[in-house]
Structures are given as C-alpha cells and as structure tokens.
A = this chain, B = another copy of it.
C-alpha cells in the first residue's frame, strides 16, 4: 500500500523517493513525504501539490480495491515473481544529464493482469518496439521476428501502441507464444482504444503490466518513464522501425547503458520510418544490425545455443573451393579439352599447383579426363559458362 501511495505522490523512477525507500523502507518514506520531510525542493513541491488533492493512503486503498475487482494484482520487489532485470535501474547513470535522465530508478511496484509470474515471464524475453506509423515493411519484419521469437519460446515484450507494438503482440499470439504489454497507464485502461480487443487477448494469454495504478491516464511523459522498464526487464531490445529523432534514440541509450542487447532492423534509406533506425546504427557502435529472428537469437541466446547461419547465395558448385581450384576450374574451356600447361597459363598458376588442384576438382566431380586432356564435367558446366554477365557470387566487379 505504501509503495502504491508513493507512486501516486511522485512519478515512478524518482531518484530521491527510491533512495529514501532503500534507506528507510516504503512505510517510513511515505510518512516522511506526507509530513513534508523531503530533502529536495522540487519533490517537496510536487508532493505537496499532489497531497492537496487527496489522501495518499486512501488513494492507494482505492486503487488496490479497484485492482481486486479487475482481477489485477500489485507486485513488489519482495515478491518471488519480481522481475530481477528492473533492479539494474538502481545504478543506471546516464551521461545525458537533466532531470528525467536521473529519474530512472527501479519501479516501486508493478500492476499486473495475467496469471504467469512476472519473473518467469521475463526470464527469456526480448523487447520489439518501434514506430506507431509503421509501414507494411516494418509490420512484416516485426511479425516475422516476434513469431520466430515465440516459436523459440522467448517472451515478446512491447508497449501498447499501434504499429510495431501491436504487430509484435499479434504475431506472438498467432504463434501461440507469450507476450507482455508494458503500459504507461492503468492496466484496466485500453489505450489506444483501438487496441482494446488486443489488450483483452494479452491479459488472457499473456501479461498486461504497468507502474501506474488502475485508472491512471496515459500522460505523455509516462511513456518516457515506462520505456526504462521495457529496456531493463528484457535481455535486449529490437527497434523495427523509427522515424528521425524518435524516442528510439532515448530507448537505445538506456538499453546500451544497461548493457542489454541493442538491435536495430535496417530498411530502405528512402523510407522515413527507417531513418531513425539508421541513425541508431550510425550513432551507437554497440547497436547491432539484425535482419531477422536468427540474428536476434544470436544476440540474446546463450553463446552457441543459437548460431545465426551466414547468409547464403545460390548453391553454386564452386562454393567451398579454394581460390586456386576456382581459378583452375575457370580456366577449363567451356567446350572441348585443354592440357594442364594451357590451364596453368590461363589460370596464371604453376603447373604443379594446377595438377594438384585438378585432382581435387576431379574428386569433386567438376572436371573429367577425356581424350588426353581435361574437360568440364556436366555438373560444373552451367554455372562455369562464361557469358556476358558471369555470376557475380564469387568474383564480382
């Protein structure tokens, strides 16, 4: 109850409130704040102003009753299910300065709808976030990544916004996976209302979570405060699309400062909704370019557990050949035969090397001995054929 009241008196993340709670406990801190014993002027003024509109304890009791009717619970750090990741916010120091950047301390409590314990839900979790005004491209990539994460039994975490957030939740639900929506308003308050049905689905098979009590408004600055919880509670954050100067930069600065995996999906340079992504990749050396779920799993998975396969071109017969063998194979005429000396001259290699490489090529079934010379085997013929536009896969301009 004291933690609920404190969250009402000062917005979550407040550094001074958090320090007082650490030093004296929530009950005593609440007494101090209500008594006006506050070591900072701006907090003192904010608390006084808030107190003048109601009794903090009664507000908290009302919120708890409302939550009970709703089937929501409040979770505090001493609970078994408290997600340990958010505690990293206790020591987070951001370089950027300014009031908000200092006020990134851990939540005092979390309101939850959904049955799974928080800690369990966040243990293997990745945030997938991005623009509201997402493009079909961004929605497609988001759905692919979220679906793939769900298939590998990773929890997908996002906000509740239109666009990328909603796409991430929907794809996770479609995969039968587990999704968490971290809201900047009460868990009983569908915001945006267009996502109301989605929130109900998430509450049933996933989790709705918020630092603010039921009924709380989605004030603009609360999104900023909320974002730190998404960054801290998960193993990493994927930004799927972001406009120029979007909040993705703020999110990523925290992800990086928290030593979580910062992942960014690139897009067409002609798309306004990828400008922010490209800015992130240019600004943060720690941000990793990811093009799909394999790369994401590669970042957040235990080393070796998920190893993204290198991108592959067509399976040309030359693949896997060393450079010398490739040169020799290239030197073999398309039609007819050639002697080893001719091949050596054409390939610019020594005769001994050519003979050694020919043995290898023969074993691989790429060349055959015929009429006292060397000819291309049928297997090697098509891709080796020199045309106006030789395949560029190995030797491109």
Say yes or no for A350: interface residue by CB 8 A criterion.
yes
Q: Are B344 and A243 in contact (CB under 8 A)?
A: no
Nearest Cβ on chain B to A208's Cβ, whole angstroms = 14
Question: Given A276-B311, A289-B289, list of 10 further CB < 8 A pairs?
Answer: A40-B350, A45-B344, A100-B327, A137-B268, A161-B397, A184-B397, A191-B388, A243-B313, A266-B267, A267-B267
A392 to chain B: which residues have CB within 8 Å?
131-133, 161, 243, 246-247
B interface footprint on A43-60 (CB within 8 Å = 1, 0 otherwise): 111100110110000000
Question: Which A residues from 284 to 303 make CB contacts under 8 A with B?
Answer: 285, 288-289, 291-292, 295
Q: How many residues of A contact B (CB 8 A)?
A: 105
Q: How far is the CA of A143 from the CA of B159 in the complex (A)?
A: 39
Q: How far is the CA of A99 from the CA of B221 in the complex (A)?
A: 61
Nearest Cβ on chain B to A43's Cβ, whole angstroms = 7
Q: How far is the CA of A295 from the CA of B283 in the complex (A)?
A: 12
A395 to chain B: which residues have CB within 8 Å?
220-221, 223-224, 247
B interface footprint on A102-129 (CB within 8 Å = 1, 0 otherwise): 0000000000000000000000000001
Say yes or no for A91: interface residue by CB 8 A criterion.
no
Q: Are A41 and B397 in contact (CB under 8 A)?
A: no
Say yes or no for A372: interface residue by CB 8 A criterion.
no
In the complex, 7 of the A-B residue pairs with CB atoms within 8 angstroms, ordered by the A residue number, are A45-B352, A46-B345, A98-B324, A223-B396, A243-B392, A266-B266, A275-B311
A276 to chain B: which residues have CB within 8 Å?
311
Closest to A100 in B: B323
